Amino acid sequence: MKEKERRRKDFLQRLIRNRNSFVGLIIILIFILCAIFADFIAPQHFNEQNIDNALLKPLSSGYPLGTDEFGRCLFSRIIYGTRITFFVGFVATGIAAIIGTAVGLVAGYFGRKIDQVLSMIINITWSFPLILLALILIVILGSGVYGIILTVGLIAWAGFARIVRGEVLSVKEKDFILAARALRISNAKIILRHILPNIFPPILVMFSLNIGTTILIETGLSFLGLGVRPPTPSWGTIINMGRTYIRNAPWLTTFPGIAIMLVVLGFNLLGDGLRDIFDPKLRNI
């Protein structure tokens, strides 16, 4: 227990000391807090309309970021949209991580024909243009929050599978794995107890980086009208509705665009920081 506590404390210290991971973590935590306390932070309900206040400029009384064409508070809609963004980002990436890790473990550990077949499936999935594959799946699975989650999960798993397979190939030939095989420990126990814990750091890095990609896919599909359905606020939907007024009311697209940029930047910085922390060659650079 003391050893685990020491490792946990050491990891947290490195996480805070690393500039990239610290800045990324702060950005992510700010948005997570906004999502959790949206009911208290947002000055109005996200769908409260007041046509008399339509297209008010930022810093107007009661509307810090202005209003849209229906007089709805843009700040409130962005704050509430954070919930959808993070929900889709974490759940979809979680599905992709589970599928990809399972496929990568099986392919890398057993090798031979199993590896050949699974690697072929991974490469075929990876070779498809991301947006094209997303559009095909969203048409099949349907739009909406859960449609996007399944779509992204079925797209992004191949990236996890490639990373995991490569890590397994390097780990499975080490002495402690060979010793476990010599003791006739079951393959399932070797994979779950010995291999998976040793390849977890790259999975964690990939998870953080992939959330940013997931958010971009979700906002892109919502912008095209294939994602989250109104009146539920989504950053992509807000930008889509604001593009009509981009000359007269540029804030309708600018502020949600900035929010997307910051969140994606936060997860990318966190992922880069985690990679530096877990890679012994980069710790002292």
Chain-centroid distance, C-alpha 181: 36
pLDDT digits (tens, 9 = 90+) for 226-270: 888 888 889 999 999 899 898 999 999 999 999 999 999 999 999
The domain of 194 spans: 13-278
Predicted local confidence at residue 68, as pLDDT: 92
Does 247 reside within a domain? yes
State pTM to two decimals: 0.90
pLDDT tens by residue, 205-231: 999 999 999 999 889 888 888 888 888
Do the domain assignments include residue 185?
Answer: yes
Asked whether residue 186 is domain-assigned, the answer is: yes
Beta-carbon-side half-sphere exposure of residue 86 (alpha carbons within 13 Å):
22
24-36: pLDDT as tens digits: 999 999 999 999 9
Is 174 domain-assigned? yes
Q: What is the pLDDT of residue 281?
A: 57
Whole-angstrom distance, CA of residue 201 vs CA of residue 227: 32
**285, part of any domain:** no
Report pLDDT for 230.
Answer: 80
Total domains in the chain come to: 1
Q: Across 146-257, where does the E strand assignment appear?
A: none
4 belongs to a structural domain: no
Instruction: Please state the length of the chain.
Output: 285
Low-confidence ranges of the chain (pLDDT < 50): 284-285
Residue 1 lies in a domain: no
We report the CATH number of the domain holding residue 125 as 1.10.3720.10
Angle separating helix axes 130-141 and 145-171, nearest 10 degrees: 130
Position 2 in a domain: no
